[in-house]
Structure formats: C-alpha cells, structure tokens
Amino acid sequence: MQRREDKALIPWMLGVLLGVAAIAFLLGLIWGLQWVLLPLGLALGALGAVIVFGRRVQRNVYAKAEGQPGAAAWALENLRGRWRVATAVAGTTHLDAVHRVLGRPGVVLVAEGAPHRVKSLLAQEKKRVSRVVGDTPIYDVVIGNDEGQVPLRRLQTHMMKLPRNITPAQVDSLEARLAALASKGVAMPKGPLPQGAKMRNVQRTIRRR
C-alpha cells in the first residue's frame, strides 16, 4: 500500500542501500579490505533504508491527516516523551478545539480548526488556565500552514524545542490542580476524521452529546 502511495519510496530505499554499500566498498579498496567492508556497508545501507522507509511513511500519514478534524489531538497523543495530554478541553460544534498539554516547558495550548474561531477559544482557555497555574509559562500553538502557525508534521519538533521551565515535581502538582478545570468539553473524533466523512452528521452527533 505504501509503495502505491509513494512512488519514490523504493528508489530512495535502493539508493541508500546501494550508495552506502558502494562507499564502504570503495573505502575498502584503499586498504585492500573491500570484501570485509562490503558486508558492513550492506548492513548499514539496510539500516538506512529502514530509516528512510519509516520517515516517508510518517510523512505520508501526517500529509493525510493534515487539515482533518481531530488530527492535532491524534498527533499530541502520539508525542514522544512524558507529556500529559488533555484533548478537547474547549471546542465548538464545528469541530474546532483546544487541547491542553502539560510538560517540562509548562502548559501548552494547541488549537486546531478555523483560525477566526480558535483565536477566541484559545484566549478563553488561556485565561482559565492562568488562574490555576499562576506564573507557570503558558504557550499557545495554532495548527496550520499560515504565518505564525505550526504545521501538523512539525508539531513534535516544535514541542521538543520549547525550553524546560519547571521540574517533574511541579508538573505533577500542576496536573492535580488542572484537574479542577476538567469539564465535559467537546467530543472530538478518535483520530483524524476520514476524508469524505459527512461533517454534518458528525456535528449533529456532537450537539446531541
């Protein structure tokens, strides 16, 4: 399936495999160890091909998810590291949502949806959170590809680059305090909404909840 969706996948993998093997063989010629270094080159080339495969699959997954309701929540729940994620702490029936992430940087509010709607949602949630966390840094992120926004595929990198402002003990303390803000929130899809799904039906379901 991945091969059908990414025509360049096989050429890239073969290029890495053969390229690394060729470099190892040529280096071996210098010392007369080409037949010793060739197997090592093939092993390293195979490892490189696997890495290329993983990255291109990940890129394809994010490309499909981008712009779909629930995509940011899905990406946050798959973050590497010790993050405390609370999805859809605020939202609208149009599937705009604000997600709250707690970690060493402090509190990160991540918004997805129409920019003109999530701006006010983000401001309201930031005000609520600030009453509880005091001087703890609060960052806000809007998912998108416009200026000042963070593309979905770069969310992990963006989060990891944030400075470490608080200790693990403070994270635990803040998590307990933020639990007091828990509310029903908005029901979001469990992952990116499939393309072709009828938004009207999803919105009707959310209103009923």
| CA angle at 165 for the pair 164 and 166, rounded to the nearest 5° | 105
Give 78's DSSP letter.
Answer: T
pTM: 0.70
DSSP strand pairing (138-142 vs 106-112)? parallel
How do residues 150-184 score in pLDDT, each as one tens digit? 998 899 899 999 999 999 999 999 998 888 776 54
Report the DSSP pairing between strands 106-112 and 97-103: antiparallel
Q: Return the closest-CA partner of residue 108 out of 117, 100, 116.
A: 100
192 CB burial (10 A radius; 0-12, 13-18, 19+): buried
Share of the chain above pLDDT 90, in %: 44
Measured CA to CA, the distance from residue 169 to residue 188 in angstroms comes to 30
Q: Which amino acid is at 95?
A: L
Give the pLDDT band of residue 71 (cuts 50, 70, 90): confident
What is the strand order of the sheet 84-91 is part of?
Answer: 84-91, 97-103, 106-112, 138-142
Instruction: Calculate mean pLDDT across residues 38-49.
Output: 94
Summarize pLDDT for 100-130 with one digit per residue, the tens.
999 999 999 999 988 888 899 999 999 999 9
Beta bridge partners of 142: 111
Domain boundaries defined on the chain: 2-65, 71-191+198-208
CA 81, chain centre distance (Å): 12
Average pLDDT over residues 141-145: 91
In this prediction, residue 105 carries a pLDDT of 95
Residue 8's pLDDT band (cuts 50, 70, 90): confident
Joined tokens for residue 168 = 């693990």
